[in-house]
Structure 1
Amino acid sequence: MVLQSLMALCQPRSTKSLNPLSPPPTPEPEAPSQPRKWRFDSEANNLFCEWCERYRPGGFHPVDLGDKFCNGTYTVIRKLGSGPYATVWLAVDSSFKRYVSLKIFTAEASVSETEFGIIQFLSQKADIDNRSQYFFTLLDTFILHGPNGTHRCLVFEPMGPSAESLELPDQKPFQSIPSFQKSIAKIIFLHALRGLAFLHENNIVYGDIRSRNLLFSLNDITNVEENELRQDETIPWSFAPVRRRNGKKDKWAPNIIYLGSAFWANSTPTEHYSSVAFRAPELILGKHIGPPIDIWAFGCLMFEFLTGHRLFVVVRGSDSQGDINEMNDNHLLQFNDIIEKLPSTLLNDWPRANKWFHPVTHHPRKGSRLYREGKSPYDSLEVMFAQHKPDDIDEAESAVICSLIRQMLVYAPEERPSAIELLKHPWFLE
């Protein structure tokens, strides 16, 4: 009797008893790391946009074209983009007969009161300080309750493509970083610096300067027909149906997932680690931060825009502390070789400095894997700039630009120039 009972317990359950029409269970808040546990088929999960598996409690709000929000005020007609914490949509504002950019945050990433206060402050300054024109204006905000939780929604004026998404005429195949002509790059730099000067004078640190967050303004699209701006659903690779593997209806996800448009774009919140290569030393070492971190990042951006190459190549592995330590160490070692030797004050703040440098002389340990045969694998800033600079910059101007970038990449934050001081530099005034 006992043996038979145990054998009965070990028999596989019959799937015929399961009701295919029964509703699926509520997904766990944490997305599964193993593909075999994904809810959706590979077609939707492989589209280069927000990850389908994050349509779950705490995650993205499911949006389908034609959806209306805020008591029918905003009607979605096109996907603009997505990031780790939000999706962005082009919508028609029925109250003012205009097009707007609608950003819907994930439920778990509700905008902090500090961030929301900054956005409101910038919008209030729009009619007072002319420099506020370098930031898009908040038009409205509302709270959305959906199957995945409560979401903060922000409504902005529509913006054009980001500097990162532009495809330039002379851009090489598979080149992910655009290389701008000097004249165009200088205009971008001037506008960005004016915006930074405005922020810093109001005690605001931007904290995430990079090409994807620099947007071009649009010509007035008020009179453009809605049909011209609607999502083009005839392009096969631009969308995918969202289907559960078990065939059940999923109320936490949209029916279709879309790529953001290649032309219309808007910035979305992103993890700070996605811009790790622009981090200042004090940011890496967990020290006090302020406006100087924006100046450091701006120096990295200048090099990138003018050469089409990154000044520092930093790759993050997993979230393990070991991988993070290796990433930080590699970044600091690049500072030592590309800019100048790390000072003792910085080495003293670096917990693992003795692994790479002699604790007394502070000379590099030649036996380390990054210094095999006593030679650094990194070239200096000047050598790298000379290798990749555009043809319209000669050697004399290269020296001026490299000197200017070096002023921004000073290890001591208090010694970096302010945005206002940079705007007075002769190179920007030419």
Structure 2
Amino acid sequence: MGRLYYPTGLDTIENVEGYRPGGYHPVHLGDVLDGRYRVLHKLGAGGFSTTWLARDAVSKTYRALKILKAEETALSTELHILQKLAAIQSDQVGNTHIRYLIDHFSIQGPNGRHKCLVTEVVGPSIKSLYNDPEHEYNAGARRLRANIAHKISMQIVQAVDFLHSHQMCHGDLTLPNVLLKIKSIDAWTEAEVYDRFGEPSTQKLVTASGTTPDHSAPRYVVEPARRLDAKYLTEGALLVDFGQAFSFDEPPQAKEIGIPVMYCAPETIFESKYTPASEIWSLACALFEVRAGNPPFSSLMGGNDEIVMQMVQMMGRLPDRWWRVWDKRSVWFQENGKPLANDSFMAVEVPMQEAIEEIGCYDQDAAMFGTEVSLLEPKDMKVPSDEAENMRDLLEGMLRWEPDDRMFVTQVLQHHWFSGYDCTHGSTQPETLGTGSR
């Protein structure tokens, strides 16, 4: 299918080629949806939806409206999952770290029927705090202060514990899906909204032939709102985006697994399986990234082989069933899993202890900017030795090759890295390690 629209040159908006039948719903500032939600600004966009800041004329509150593509509306199970979770009566603290549905409705538009999910307005993702595309610095150059990182990590684990205790997996446990809560903005005037989120920046949309778009597309595209000043953020986190979530007894088919490869467990990569134990692996990757500012495994080109190579660098030789079928093993490793001699530039041993000791080694002055510096670890701050040992023990228990050998989420929750850390003062206190079930 040929190009429909002239490129906008904007990196932070949705792919405008998605404005066609089955794609995005065209939205303009000032639109009133479902007779009550007036669109004020854009909060973000992805491959499957756009999200807007709106004022609810009924409740007099600000809401986030996630509008799914028409083709995704037919396939998405997110509404069902969120309704299922909302029906659970639970006093588990993890229940408070999941962003729940407030309302939902459907829109019939020129590109089809779209599901719209209404939720509370929240702040930036942890990932976006660490990686700002408008500034040039490397991953790992900034990260949350240690005490805040521990709080956020605990809340992520509590959210996963809540899900797993009710036989549910999130399915896409990544830092882009962990968002900071904000203080209430409902008392703000619209002028204050625009002062603090920034005035909407728009760009006219033009078809590839140079004509004005038809009703399938908006007249203009809107850039996302700017990040709120840190004084409006809290130290609370919410797990969001349940589009990949599933019940334990209904695991996803291979083609339905959507988690990025850098968070994938080895059985997901080699066997196209994603289970509660696979989510423990993803959780470990997320916890490391919260504390370090960069993930334990990453790939410039997004390829599986580069990720597997880094796993072997950290953990040694893969189990035989995966080692035998991994065609690229001989590029980097001997048959015993050790890096090839005289090939240290390509592959080296990087045990977990060393990876933790490197936290703080890549800080950059260029990354220390903006009001959120108040939330960030001072430059060149390393992980204290006692915490590093606890962190190593925790992550090695979660990142085990065999799924059945990995820790359960209840064990993670009770691990000394959490229970022994005073999140207020940043010191460790003696506690005992507990056990539990996944």
* TM > 0.5: yes
- Matching of residues 98-113 of structure 1 within 5 Å: 98-110=61-73, 112=75
Paired residue for 1:286, among 271, 286, 291?
Answer: 271
Say yes or no: does 1:199 pair with 2:163: yes
Please state whether the residue corresponding to 1:260 is helix, strand or coil.
Answer: coil
Say yes or no: does 1:40 pair with 2:9: no
What per-residue deviation string (whole Å, max 9, x for no partner) do you get for residues 390-412 of structure 1? 62522343222122111110011
Say yes or no: does 1:300 pair with 2:269: no
Say yes or no: does 1:373 pair with 2:348: no
Please state whether the residue corresponding to 2:102 is helix, strand or coil.
Answer: strand
1:328 alignment partner in structure 2: 304
Q: Bigger shift: 73-82 or 90-99?
A: 90-99
Paired residue for 1:94, among 57, 64, 76?
Answer: 57
C-alpha distance 147-214 of structure 1, shift in aligned 2 (>3 A): same
CA distance in 2 between partners of 1:164 and 1:304 (Å)? 9
CA distance in 2 between partners of 1:294 and 1:205 (Å)? 7
Say yes or no: does 1:256 pair with 2:226: no
Say yes or no: does 1:68 pair with 2:26: no
TM-score by structure 2 length?
Answer: 0.76
Relative to total residues, which structure has the larger helix share, 1 or 2?
Answer: 1
Larger Rg: 1
TM-score by structure 1 length?
Answer: 0.78
2:327 alignment partner in structure 1: 352
1:115 alignment partner in structure 2: 78
- Matching of residues 41-190 of structure 1 within 5 Å: 41-42=6-7, 44-70=8-34, 72-110=35-73, 112=75, 114-125=77-88, 129-166=92-129, 173-176=136-139, 178-190=142-154
Say yes or no: does 1:397 pair with 2:387: yes
2:396 alignment partner in structure 1: 406
What per-residue deviation string (whole Å, max 9, x for no partner) do you get for residues 298-353 of structure 1? 21122222222331122446xxxxxxxxx2233222211112221224325x3637
- Identity across matched positions, percent: 27
- The unaligned stretches of length 5 or more in structure 2 are 245-255, 361-379, 422-438
AA of the residue aligned to 1:102: L
Task: Give the deviation of 1:291 after TM superposition.
Answer: 1.3
C-alpha distance 59-342 of structure 1, shift in aligned 2 (>3 A): same
CA distance in 2 between partners of 1:206 and 1:425 (Å)? 21
AA of the residue aligned to 1:334: Q
Contact 1:347 1:353 in 2 (8 A): no
Contact 2:198 2:225 in 1 (8 A): no
Please state whether the residue corresponding to 2:168 is helix, strand or coil.
Answer: coil
Say yes or no: does 1:363 pair with 2:336: yes
- The unaligned stretches of length 5 or more in structure 1 are 1-29, 33-37, 318-326
Please state whether the residue corresponding to 2:179 is helix, strand or coil.
Answer: coil
2:413 alignment partner in structure 1: 423
AA of the residue aligned to 2:336: H
What per-residue deviation string (whole Å, max 9, x for no partner) do you get for residues 69-112 of structure 1? 11x12111110001110000011112222111100001111264
What per-residue deviation string (whole Å, max 9, x for no partner) do you get for residues 351-370 of structure 1? 63775699xx943597xxxx
C-alpha distance 296-365 of structure 1, shift in aligned 2 (>3 A): closer
Q: Bigger shift: 100-109 or 299-308?
A: 299-308
Say yes or no: does 1:382 pair with 2:358: no
Task: Give the deviation of 1:131 after TM superposition.
Answer: 2.6
CA distance in 2 between partners of 1:55 and 1:144 (Å)? 15
Task: Give the deviation of 1:253 after TM superposition.
Answer: 1.1
CA distance in 2 between partners of 1:296 and 1:234 (Å)? 38
* CA RMSD, 1 decimal: 3.2
Contact 2:268 2:274 in 1 (8 A): yes
C-alpha distance 57-120 of structure 1, shift in aligned 2 (>3 A): same
The number of equivalent residue pairs is 374
C-alpha distance 248-288 of structure 1, shift in aligned 2 (>3 A): closer
AA of the residue aligned to 2:327: R
C-alpha distance 167-126 of structure 1, shift in aligned 2 (>3 A): farther
CA distance in 1 between partners of 2:197 and 2:121 (Å)? 21
Task: Give the deviation of 1:385 after TM superposition.
Answer: 2.1
CA distance in 1 between partners of 2:20 and 2:33 (Å)? 20
Task: Give the deviation of 1:204 after TM superposition.
Answer: 0.8
Contact 1:63 1:254 in 2 (8 A): yes
Task: Give the deviation of 1:66 after TM superposition.
Answer: 0.7
C-alpha distance 77-234 of structure 1, shift in aligned 2 (>3 A): closer
Task: Give the deviation of 1:215 after TM superposition.
Answer: 1.0
CA distance in 1 between partners of 2:209 and 2:329 (Å)? 54
Contact 2:197 2:227 in 1 (8 A): no
AA of the residue aligned to 1:377: A
Q: Bigger shift: 399-408 or 269-278?
A: 269-278
What per-residue deviation string (whole Å, max 9, x for no partner) do you get for residues 367-426 of structure 1? xxxx47354523332223212246252234322212211111001111111121111111
CA distance in 2 between partners of 1:294 and 1:345 (Å)? 21
